[in-house]
Amino acid sequence: MAATRVISNTTIQARSHVYMNGDSPARIELNPWDLRFIVLEYGQKGLLFHKPTISSSSSSSSSSSSSYHTDKVIQHLKGSLSATLNFFLPLAGRLAIVPDADNDGISSVFITCNNAGASFVHAIAENTTTADILEPTYVPPIVESFFPLGKSKNFEATHIPLMAVQVTELVDGIFIACSMNHCLVEVRPYWNFLNTWAEISRNRLNHLGSDLKLASFERWFPRADIERPIRIRFKQIMEEYYLDESAYSHLSPPISKRIFHFKRQKIAELKAKALSEVVDDGVVSNEISSLQAVVSHIWRSVIKNQNLDPEEEVTFRFLVSARSRISNPPIPESYFGNTVQFASVMMKVRDLVGDRGLGKFALEMNKKISEYTEQKIKMDFEALIPNPMVRLQSGIIGKVMNCGSSTRINFYAIDFGWGRPAAIRRGPAFMHDWDLVADAGAEEGSFDIELCMSYEILETMGRDPEFMHAVSPPEPVRLSNKLARGRL
């Protein structure tokens, strides 16, 4: 596979400076949930498509066959992106970090909706095919070059775009990747933007008149009297960040990426096994979700295959959404911002990998999630106001794992007009520690779990019959009629 070559980098602005529902706000005040991400990296997802075909409608054409026209696809995507930004004007803005007048290290942080524009990168990966991405056991390193802004940090958005898109041509496909500032979005609104762009692309909506559901950008606060903008000790945060980076950068070993696919039937089997392990006198003590059962199965294998001391404690960190847990004031369904809460389960190795460990861990996850009541979420929110900061470091490599994304968000449903994606991949951001990224799979009810960790452990897990019994090869994505004939 040859290296990726950038052909052009264009700034795309919204076509209109006015939202569908009235005047656009001059700025968006970030809340503590957003500001926790200030020193972390952009959120990234990429969609691999088989090469689209575009029907020739010219009357002078002597053939009814379809052909692929790169320039036409690129120009179409640029135009539809500009139209989409009409509905997501903050993504065309910039981050503002404004020090207080007395220069005491305190700053206000907000999004200025100035339509400075998003970045659109057109690139080509010569001699790279879709099979080169789909078939290897491990995600090939070239995929990281398909993502714009690389490992950029969120605080850098004062001088770089809040969002960048890269469309990379392959021999027989295209890869559409998006890097979006994590101070502005999490996975659900990220999907909302990509899906809206795809809908506009698919339906040629090059004007503002449509029935698209608008995003809500006004930040959620538990009380109206909380002073805004939130002021943070930005100078101190940056000093601590650079010290941490310097101390930590040499400690992270090389990380590989491997995707394990779980079909609905195997997921059901894991859930049933986990539930059976927590039955007390014939009564299930708590409900366990499908994802909790799958995550428990994976985490047990990760720890088991390292041969750690049975008395050591290991930590699994995951996210809990506040969206459905808040009623006063409620968080709108269309809320375009961060709502995740950070949770973790600590357990001794012997309890996790031992008898009935699958159910024990899954149940502990479930109990931890149930702790996030509306009262706790609001209390935690207010406690963050003086110092809304999240550390990059997560602990000792191999004994701590972070879990992100969501199996409730189906990126395979995104259709730009030439069919569903053949694969979903993640970029180079958040590759500091061992991660588990959980996404919905291509088949209904299936999960794709991307593990980012050491090659040696991934290889050992791949040879572990107990673990691999629940893993299935992904179904090939079949070309739909839409894809075969093209609709652009």
Q: How far apart are CA 75 and CA 67, in angstroms?
A: 16
Is the pLDDT at 487 greater than 70? The verdict is: no
Element (H, E) at 273: helix 264-276
Residue 138 in this model has a pLDDT that exceeds 50: yes
Q: Which residue, among 450, 280, 284, 277, has the nearest Cα to 361 in the 3D structure?
A: 277
pTM exceeds 0.75 for this model: yes
What ranges do the domains of the chain cover?
4-245+481-485, 254-468
- In this predicted structure, the answer to whether residue 21 has a pLDDT above a threshold of 60 is no
pLDDT at 280: 65
Between 392 and 105, the higher pLDDT residue: 105
**Cβ atoms of 154 and 37 closer than 8 Å:** yes
Residue 102 pLDDT more than 70? Answer: yes
Domains 4-245+481-485 and 254-468 in one fold: yes
Residue 481: predicted pLDDT: 37
Tell whether the torsion through CA atoms of 74, 76, 78 and 84 is positive or negative. negative
Question: What does the angle CA 92 – CA 96 – CA 100 come to, to the nearest 5 degrees?
Answer: 165
- pLDDT at residue 433, rounded to an integer: 75
d(CA 433, CA 352): 21
Give how far Cα 213 sits from Cα of 20, 199, 336, 378, Å. Answer: 10, 12, 12, 28
pLDDT at 98: 93
Do 134 and 172 meet the contact criterion of CB atoms below 8 Å apart?
A: no
Q: H or E stretch including 179? A: strand 173-180
Confidence of residue 236 (pLDDT cuts 50, 70, 90): confident
Q: State mean pLDDT over 225-229.
A: 91
Tens digit of pLDDT for each residue in 341-385? 999 999 999 999 999 999 999 999 999 999 999 999 999 999 999
Instruction: Kindly state the DSSP code that residue 68 receives in the 8-state scheme.
Output: -
Question: Which helix (H) or strand (E) covers residue 8, if one does?
Answer: strand 4-12
> Mean pLDDT across the chain, nearest whole number?
87
Residues 316-321, mean pLDDT to the nearest whole number: 95
Contact 471, 465 (CB under 8 A): no
Output the pLDDT for position 249: 61
pLDDT at site 281: 47
pLDDT tens digit sequence for 42-78: 999 999 999 876 544 433 333 333 445 788 899 999 9
Q: Say how far apart CA 261 and CA 239 lie, in whole Å.
A: 41
CATH hierarchy code of domain 254-468: 3.30.559.10
* Helices marked H in 107-253: 130-134, 187-203, 234-248
Q: What is the pLDDT of residues 469-481, one digit of tens each?
A: 999 987 665 544 3
- Give 4-245+481-485's CATH code, choosing from 3.40.50.720, 3.30.559.10, 2.40.440.10, 3.30.420.40: 3.30.559.10
